[in-house]
Amino acid sequence: MIGTGYVGLVTGTCFADIGNKVYCVDNDKSKISKLNSGKSTIYEPGLDEIILKNYNAKRLIFTSNLSLAVKNSDIIFICVGTPNKKGTQTVDLHYVFKAIKEVVKFSKNKKILITKSTVPVGTANEIEKILKNMKKKNFDVVSNPEFLREGEAIRDFKYPDRIIVGSNNNRTFKIMERLYQPLINKGAMFFKTSRRSAELIKYASNAFLATKITFINELANLCEKANINIEDVSLGMGSDVRIGSRFLRPGPAYGGSCFPKDTKGLISTGDKFNVNLSIVKTVVKSNQNRVHLHVKRIDKIIGKNFKNKKITFLGVTFKPNTDDMRDSTSLKMIPYVSKKEANVFYYDPTGEKKEFKNIRNCKFSKDIKIACKNADLIILHTEWEEFKSLDFQKLTKNKGVKIYDLRNLYTFSDMLRKKIKYYSIGRPNAN
């Protein structure tokens, strides 16, 4: 595995756990030394135990020595980052190409070279060109995209709905099938396709899921105005098997390391081929605009004067069971209320965030009670289990505390009974 970020570390560890010998390579020596001390470099439930087990069994090796790893491997997964180029929607592939060039330098015998990272259509062809220019013939380039959700990545690895393998070589398909056999035995579909299809399947899947979320988020806006409960609509729609019930939960706006980046990446692929992917463009815009609705709602809840008002965020990551802050709506909401001179506190089970270190009037507390004490408004930002049955009046010691629930964790009737002013998403009385 080249790259021990989220994808490389989880995938490498899980491949070791199903019996393979795996070298995880990273040029960041501090990461490697942390991993070699038995500690995970990312927050992912259950990962530490599997790392330790396979590390002790000597099936999982962490190293910065690329030459050693390449020499001892038959299959090489490229798991480096593919961010958007700064200020653009195009995908920056320079980490991928750099990794490929380094890998092939050390390789003598035949190897399978796989892009696991999300890469745009045509990348496998580009890699082949690089190999040709370097006069390297001993590689078979494969696309095998990952579909791991943060927080559920181990489960997603072990019980995938499908394994997508893009190749133009039958022998390689057979090797890949053997590699994934333990998962296929448990019911995963093994889908052989062209490399270009495999590359597009990844973007299409993420853009479709982002579209589903955005669709339900816009419907939630309608429900708020039309006195309808969005949850009934999600349930009613989602029980049509053609639609499916998942990814129909309204929320603050989708975030994370994939959907925002991949929707834009797909648009730029459309542009490259002169195809206007207008739906995906609208999804991106709608999602970006969504945070304005939330800050407008906060304005409405607090009123004109934010000064000396204590606003507490519960959870700041883009979703629960991760410490990942990338494209989280809290990155916009917290600076907004801080600018209005509110007293901002936040509590997150994964600890303090560097992103808020320089935000004025913004304090982290590792004790939820301190973060919430005397709060005027609590914003339920991320749906961690521990936020699902809180006694807000007791927690805040403020009978008049208001709640803005961005994840619909509570019911309006329950809050009404407790005489708490409660705001949520897409429900009657949501305003």
Asked if residue 236 lies in contact with residue 242, where contact means CB atoms within 8 angstroms, the answer is no
Q: Please, what is the angle between helix 278-302 and helix 195-226, to 10°?
A: 40
List 213, 230, 301, 401, residue binding ligand UDX (CB under 6 A): 213
List 15, 55, 203, 259, residue binding ligand UDX (CB under 6 A): 259
Interface pattern 159-178 for ligand UDX (x via CB under 6 A): --------------------
Looking at 130-233, which runs of residues are DSSP E strands? 139-143, 162-166, 189-193
**51: which 2 tokens?**
């790392």
Task: Count residues near ligand UDX (CB under 6 A).
Answer: 19
Interface pattern 35-54 for ligand UDX (x via CB under 6 A): --------------------
List 43, 139, 203, 254, residue binding ligand UDX (CB under 6 A): 254
Q: Looking at beta carbons, which residue is closest to ligand UDX?
A: 258
Stretch that binds ligand UDX, among 256-264, 297-305, 389-397, 408-416 (CB under 6 A): 256-264
Interface pattern 188-207 for ligand UDX (x via CB under 6 A): ------------------x-
Asked if residue 10 lies in contact with residue 40, where contact means CB atoms within 8 angstroms, the answer is no
**Closer to ligand UDX at the Cβ: 283 or 420?**
283
CB of 202 to ligand UDX, least distance (A): 7
Q: Over the range 306-323, which residues count as b (16 or more CB within 10 Å of their CB) and which as e?
A: beebbbbbbbbbbbbbbb
How far is the C-alpha of 314 from the C-alpha of 320, rounded, in Å?
Answer: 11
256 near ligand UDX, rule: CB under 6 A: yes
Of residues 114-153, those binding ligand UDX (CB under 6 A): 146-150
CB of 101 to ligand UDX, least distance (A): 26
- Tell me the torsion sign for CA atoms 179, 183, 184, 189: negative
Query: Is residue 362 annotated as part of the catalytic site, yes or no?
Result: no
**Closer to ligand UDX at the Cβ: 131 or 148?**
148
Residue among 28, 15, 1 at smallest CA distance from 59:
15
**Closer to ligand UDX at the Cβ: 55 or 259?**
259
List 297, 319, 340, 402, residue binding ligand UDX (CB under 6 A): 319
CB of 240 to ligand UDX, least distance (A): 16
* Phi, psi angles (nearest 5°) of residue 94: -70, -30
CB of 209 to ligand UDX, least distance (A): 6
List 32, 103, 248, 267, residue binding ligand UDX (CB under 6 A): 248
Query: Please, which residues bridge with residue 362 across strands?
Result: 344
384 near ligand UDX, rule: CB under 6 A: no
Spatial CB neighbours of 114, under 8 Å, sequence gap ≥ 6: 75, 76, 77, 78, 141, 142, 143, 144
Q: Over the range 155-164, which residues count as b (16 or more CB within 10 Å of their CB) and which as e?
A: ebbeebeebb
**187: which 2 tokens?**
């019911």
List 97, 190, 247, 336, residue binding ligand UDX (CB under 6 A): 247
Please give the C-alpha separations between residue 431 and each of 34, 44, 48, 418, in angstroms, as whole numbers.
48, 35, 43, 18
How far is the C-alpha of 68 from the C-alpha of 76, rounded, in Å?
Answer: 13
Residue among 78, 257, 52, 250 at smallest CA distance from 151:
257
**128: which 2 tokens?**
């082949």
Catalytic residue among 14, 24, 79, 258: 258
Of residues 14-33, those binding ligand UDX (CB under 6 A): none
Asked if residue 41 lies in contact with residue 99, where contact means CB atoms within 8 angstroms, the answer is no
CB of 247 to ligand UDX, least distance (A): 4
**Closer to ligand UDX at the Cβ: 15 or 254?**
254
**Closer to ligand UDX at the Cβ: 47 or 69?**
47
List 9, 114, 223, 258, residue binding ligand UDX (CB under 6 A): 258
List 116, 249, 310, 353, residue binding ligand UDX (CB under 6 A): 249
Asked if residue 374 lies in contact with residue 398, where contact means CB atoms within 8 angstroms, the answer is yes
Asked if residue 191 lies in contact with residue 214, where contact means CB atoms within 8 angstroms, the answer is no
CB of 324 to ligand UDX, least distance (A): 8
CB of 341 to ligand UDX, least distance (A): 28
8 near ligand UDX, rule: CB under 6 A: no
Binding interface with ligand UDX (CB under 6 A): 146-150, 206, 209, 213, 247-249, 251, 254-256, 258-259, 318-319
Catalytically active residues are 258
